Amino acid sequence: MKTVNMHEAKTHLSKLVEQALQGQPFVIAKAGKPLVQVTMIEAVSPQRTGFLKGQVDIPADFDEMAAGETKTLFEGETETDPGAQR
């Protein structure tokens, strides 16, 4: 495994990280003493869907809730209301 000193790591960090992503981990050392090992993380992105499964209840009519109000917001008033102010 490649060992680089702190200064070299700061200077070439982007290149070193790219190499780590290609499966070439490296060690950063200070005054010749190894401090940290940099390796690729296998699961880069956390699971975003389903994290509340079983913790919330969604009504069966969820897709139809407030459909009239939503349509009015997008399309404007669809019926003429004789009592409406203009």
**Please, are residues 36 and 28 in contact by the beta-carbon 8 Å criterion?**
yes
Q: Please indicate, yes or no, if residue 30 is contained in any of the structural domains.
A: yes
The strand pairing partners of 63, in sequence order, are none
86 pLDDT exceeds 70? no
1 pLDDT exceeds 80? yes
In CATH, what number is assigned to the domain containing residue 23? 3.40.1620.10
Count how many domains the chain has: 1
Provide the pLDDT for residue 79.
59
Q: Please indicate, yes or no, if residue 49 is contained in any of the structural domains.
A: no
18 pLDDT exceeds 80? yes
Q: Please indicate, yes or no, if residue 20 is contained in any of the structural domains.
A: yes
More confident residue, 4 or 78: 4
| Three state DSSP letters for the chain | CEEEEHHHHHHCHHHHHHHHHCCCCEEEEECCEEEEEECCCCCCCCCCCCCCCCCCCCCCCHHHCCHHHHHHHHHCCCCCCCCCCC
Q: Please indicate, yes or no, if residue 84 is contained in any of the structural domains.
A: no
Its pTM surpasses 0.75 = no
- Structural domain including 10 reads 2-38
Q: Please indicate, yes or no, if residue 85 is contained in any of the structural domains.
A: no
pLDDT in tens, 19-77: 999 999 999 999 999 999 999 988 666 677 777 888 888 889 988 888 889 888 999 87
